[in-house]
Structure 1
Amino acid sequence: MTDRARLEHLLPFLGWPRHWGGGGLRGDVIAGLTVALVMIPQSLAYAKLAGLPPQVGLYAALLPAVVAALFGSCGQLSTGPVALSGLLVGASILPLAGGDPTRALALALLLALLSGLIQLALGVLRLGWLLNLLSVPVLMGFVNAAALIICLTQIPPLFGVSMAQTGPLVLDFAHLLIDGRMLHVPSAAFGLGALAALVLFKRFAPRVPSVPLVVASATALSAWLGFEANGGEVIGHIPQSLPALSLPPLQPDLAMTLMPAAFVVAMVSFMEAASSAKLISGRTRQAWDQDQELIGQGMGKIAAAFTSGMPVSASFSRSALNYASNARTGLSSVVTAGLILLTLLYLTPLLWHLPKPALAAVILQAVGGLLDLKVLRRAWRTNRDDGAGAAVTFAATLAFAPNIQNGIFTGLILTLALMVYRGMRPRVALLGLHADGSYRDLQRFGLPHPHPQLVVLRFDSALSFVTAAPFEDGMLRAARAQPDVRIVLVSAAGINDIDATGLYTLAGLMERFHAQGQSIAFCGLKKQVIDAMERDGLWARIAEQARYRSEQQAITALVKTLAAGSPA
């Protein structure tokens, strides 16, 4: 790697100018302006979803978005407030804030700092692979449940009704339906009208910037009809200024309380960013770096913590819009932030009459794309363990709501448990000669053993402390598979690793087989397994019976040994 390449790896924005030829610069500018029109109403809506003042969403779309773009690896990602992170932030801070808006904002800043530091540390230490421990079915179970929860929280404001928060969200929503509270007709008209317009635009005119158009129309109608004077809720005053520098409350006890939530925000928000980056890089054929993206997203969150923002992430919908608008580099995010800056300085008075039911409609339309129950059904059909993991995570997230971070922890623990459980059940098969010349599962294909005194066993897993017991059981069954078995040949191509427990088990089996007048042979052993055996001293004892490369080579030699009547 050249010095220039190393520098661009550390500072990805230095490579932007290479992509600006052939209309690339123009594409970035147009994409940035287009995304800004969507970012402004979404930022207001997602700040509201997190229980924070609306301007916090706009602040989070300024410097945090620019920092994430400067140090991220995928130029088309659009970072800022997103629905899923907004819900997680609200679930994490509101129970601790006690109804105090100032304390809620302070907690949001601390949550942004902690989650950003977690992502930054994982990226710097090249530990991004740890986030892959959460399986896709479990993640989709959580995302679907979270999307449903967001919908439940936004239906009351869509109709101008307040919902008490006294316990589990599902029960609170059920009580609201049972109470039959009267809806506010003007609010319902604005909310349902905005939602219908957004759905129709998406269905029949997907290229039209429906979100800014609908929000602008609703704001104009609200001002003209006197929606606020008739009891409707509007955004109201938004400070016409830049965000003030902020300092999160650096209290150890508070940090420890928020640390689990910070881990969930870091994990889930990066999963959303990674899914967008993978999709876009697959289409552009430009590589993206998981660890570098963790650094960019983490630094974006840290920037939010010190500029009165909230935890940010890469939005799937805005990133897709960025890519569709021909963005090539992170300059598009800088342009987006520039337009939001102008809005904060000069245009916030125009947002006073924006109806909150219209913002609820924006949220509902955005999270509708997250609901995908087909993924859960497909996971169940493919693998019952994965299906069970997705279903349990989905149910746990709903049950714990509004504390949905407990749902993702349930899914994570379940993922690790299922991984260990599957690891403890490796495939062990006895082999016979198939008509196609290969050695295959004799039980499945109804094949005979290759020789009355020889059994072939295939083990498809690493031989470790997790799988040593199943390997031992399989070997003992193989030794009894025929009345006169003298040799068990292990087809070891599937054994890609061996640890101390595996070596100990193997040595014990060799002694046991020898005492029974039997022996063990190997074929297809891999280099790393042989190296471990050599370090342990076991290789010197088995080398003569373990140098075979294929089943056929081993069987031919071993059958001659059996015919000669000598020990294998």
Structure 2
Amino acid sequence: MNIVALFPFLAWFKLLTKETIKADIIAGLTGAVIVLPQGVAFATIAGLPPEYGLYTAMVTPIIAALFGSSFHLVSGPTTAISIVIFSAVSHHAEPGTPEFVSMALTLTFLAGIYQLSFGIARLGALANFVSHTVVIGFTAGAAILIATSQMKNITGIFVPKGESFVHTWIEIITGFAQTNIYLVLIAVATMIAALSIKKFIPRSPYLLFGMIVGSLLALFFGQFTDDIKLVGEIPRHLPPFSTPDFSFANLQLLTSEAFAVALLGLIEAVSISRAISTKSDQRIDSNQEFIGQGMSNIVGSFFSSYAGSGSFTRSGINYEAGARTPLSAIFAALFLVVIVLLVAPLTAYLPIASMGGVILLVAYNLIDIPHIKQTLAFSKSESSVLITTFLATLFLELEFAIYLGVLLSLVLFLAKTSTPKIPVLSIDDGPKNTHRKFIDIREKPILQCPQLKIIRIDMSIYFGSVNHIQKKFAKISDTENINHILIEASGINFIDLAGSEMLVAENKRLDKQGGGLYFVGMKPGVYADAAKSHFIKMIGNDHFFDSKSQAIRLIKKRLDDNKCARCQVRIFNECN
């Protein structure tokens, strides 16, 4: 086995130079500063102590960079994964407790096993069949849930733990009179400061500046109220070794939730890496990306890291900061270690209300408003996927919302491919048209042969589309009384067993009526596969043609001469 296949980082190690290392160091330092407030915020969303978000941002990016394929993807804690972790584990344990942490790590390990297995099994192409609209709808719904979860921290209104989306807002509305104005002012000041810094210095760690402003305001308000709760000091040490709970009961309990986490993580990582690769002109290996994500979560679960994936924000900033190789993500993780060791005690002064303001900004940035508007305006099918996933995220279990969105996306894909376009063609065989080009009769109202129907099938002939295609054949033979059908086959990508059986049966039916099915221009690969399955032999070699001229010349001999003698159309040269 090729050693690079086992250790993919050896491939880009060869590209390292003084210039690339310098560029990666600068990009890594930028990424470390950016992820510091995000890591704390995301861990809070996941129901974990704040330091677990930072541990994830230290361990996960290194492993994903070494075993992934993208040069610019930065993995680590993400908002969507964090809220799924919270939703999945909070059913079984109290958020923030040691039991909750242990189950979150077990869930991370299982998700990594799923992802690694998909990569080893070369199932990377599966990501192509999941509409990006599913992710857009899910993250928009998750953003609303995240904002809802922080309202109690921002307003000071008591909301019982575990309340649903609807019941949380009922509690907020009915308890509005108990709003703590000091907490609201801290959250609002945090957001205004962060947005102001972002406007004037777009590539700065604006969330970090917002948290500093919120902390200073909390110190000032501390002399007027005792209700300002603080995050508390983060332990100043490296990610400690941890052991997921491998008890059979725990594994059985988390298996289905882990699959949802794995699926969402893979969709995120592959979508982000492909989006950035369009700018960097890099080719992404989805299978290797699956392996990288799986390895990062498996290793991370033993070093106090919960499930991570690719981050669009950090990956985009990494590319814009001039990163040249995956070493930039590794530098970002190492710089974060240094920063945490230096500033960890300062989190003791960070108010939870300020953290709530930061999380509201993160939630808002999750909602892809331009994409949502475009989807709703131009595609009914994608709109249904978007709206269904969005509503399911708000009102159903999060893992079920992911499954529902993916399932609906696949159903719509199959529905689209099950009704391929079958345009009717004809030929303009005048003296100037020496190439005998087939023309769609909808584009040019040309005459058709009354004994030979020429059609084109624009998609694959498989079990899902056989019924639609068979109905088209029946309409031609029964309604138009034409039993010779020539299929322009250049648009057919494959023919499965069900498709072969249907075509053989239709050919036999037409043959009994004095006609038959004919094929011209079939792709060599499709023809070779059809030959292996004995489809060519069952139809007959004389029904397959390499050129239009050959097809028309030979099929013309099989037409009814009496009808040809009376025909006034005579669209083929052979008719004369």
Question: 1:429 is matched with which residue?
Answer: 423
Q: Percent identity?
A: 29
Question: 2:289 is matched with which residue?
Answer: 293
**Residue 176 (structure 1) aligned with residue 168 (structure 2):** no
Q: Distance in 2 between matches of 1:535 and 1:349?
A: 70
By how many angstroms is 1:248 displaced? 0.7
Deviations 1:392-451 (A, max 9, x none): 111111111xx3111111111212222222232222232234698643443x34735522
In the TM superposition, 1:33-52 aligns within 5 A as: 33-52=29-48
State the secondary structure of the residue aligned to 1:562. Answer: coil
**Residue 451 (structure 1) aligned with residue 449 (structure 2):** yes
**Normalising to structure 1: TM-score of the pair?**
0.90
Q: Distance in 1 between matches of 2:90 and 2:196?
A: 35
- Is the contact made by 2:193 and 2:213 (CA closer than 8 Å) also made in structure 1? no
Q: Distance in 2 between matches of 1:156 and 1:106?
A: 26
By how many angstroms is 1:203 displaced? 2.5
Q: Distance in 2 between matches of 1:127 and 1:391?
A: 28
In the TM superposition, 1:294-443 aligns within 5 A as: 294-400=290-396, 403-433=397-427, 438-442=437-441
State the secondary structure of the residue aligned to 2:559. Answer: helix
After superposing the two structures, state which structure 1 stretch, 553-562 or 137-146, moved more: 553-562
- Is the contact made by 2:190 and 2:213 (CA closer than 8 Å) also made in structure 1? no
Question: 2:528 is matched with which residue?
Answer: 531
After superposing the two structures, state which structure 1 stretch, 539-548 or 248-257, moved more: 539-548
State the Cα RMSD in Å.
Answer: 2.8
Deviations 1:142-197 (A, max 9, x none): 12211222222223323333433454313322431233242222211111001111
Residue correspondences, number = 559
- Is the contact made by 2:233 and 2:346 (CA closer than 8 Å) also made in structure 1? no
Question: 2:491 is matched with which residue?
Answer: 494
Unaligned runs of 5+ in 1: none
Q: What amino acid is aligned across from residue 359 of structure 1 in structure 2?
A: M
Q: What amino acid is aligned across from residue 504 of structure 2 in structure 1?
A: A
- Is the contact made by 2:186 and 2:217 (CA closer than 8 Å) also made in structure 1? no
By how many angstroms is 1:21 displaced? 2.9
Deviations 1:45-91 (A, max 9, x none): 11111111111112222223322222222233222222111111111
After superposing the two structures, state which structure 1 stretch, 311-320 or 382-391, moved more: 382-391
Deviations 1:330-354 (A, max 9, x none): 3333333333323444432221011
By how many angstroms is 1:114 displaced? 0.7
Deviations 1:20-58 (A, max 9, x none): 435322222222222212212211111111111111112
Q: Distance in 1 between matches of 2:84 and 2:223?
A: 31
Q: Distance in 2 between matches of 1:409 and 1:7?
A: 37
In the TM superposition, 1:201-350 aligns within 5 A as: 201-223=197-219, 225-226=221-222, 230-350=226-346
Q: Distance in 2 between matches of 1:469 and 1:64?
A: 48
By how many angstroms is 1:221 displaced? 4.2
Q: What amino acid is aligned across from residue 93 of structure 1 in structure 2?
A: V
Question: 2:573 is matched with which residue?
Answer: none
Unaligned runs of 5+ in 2: 565-576
Q: Distance in 1 between matches of 2:535 and 2:9?
A: 53
- Is the contact made by 2:466 and 2:499 (CA closer than 8 Å) also made in structure 1? yes
After superposing the two structures, state which structure 1 stretch, 181-190 or 342-351, moved more: 342-351
Question: 1:460 is matched with which residue?
Answer: 458
Q: Distance in 1 between matches of 2:13 and 2:492?
A: 48
Q: Distance in 2 between matches of 1:450 and 1:562?
A: 14
**Residue 31 (structure 1) aligned with residue 27 (structure 2):** yes
After superposing the two structures, state which structure 1 stretch, 222-231 or 319-328, moved more: 222-231
Q: Distance in 2 between matches of 1:545 and 1:481?
A: 27
- Is the contact made by 1:79 and 1:315 (CA closer than 8 Å) also made in structure 2? yes
By how many angstroms is 1:480 displaced? 3.3
State the secondary structure of the residue aligned to 1:46. Answer: helix
Cα 1:365–1:469 shift into 2, 3 Å? same
- Is the contact made by 2:192 and 2:210 (CA closer than 8 Å) also made in structure 1? no
In the TM superposition, 1:474-485 aligns within 5 A as: 474-483=472-481, 485=482
**Residue 86 (structure 1) aligned with residue 52 (structure 2):** no
Q: What amino acid is aligned across from residue 199 of structure 2 in structure 1?
A: R
Work out which of the residue numbers 509, 514, 519 in structure 2 matches 1:517: 514
**Normalising to structure 2: TM-score of the pair?**
0.89
Deviations 1:497-542 (A, max 9, x none): 2222222222222222232233332222333443354345453464
Cα 1:124–1:493 shift into 2, 3 Å? same
After superposing the two structures, state which structure 1 stretch, 333-342 or 45-54, moved more: 333-342
- Is the contact made by 1:77 and 1:319 (CA closer than 8 Å) also made in structure 2? yes
Cα 1:265–1:434 shift into 2, 3 Å? farther
Cα 1:240–1:500 shift into 2, 3 Å? closer
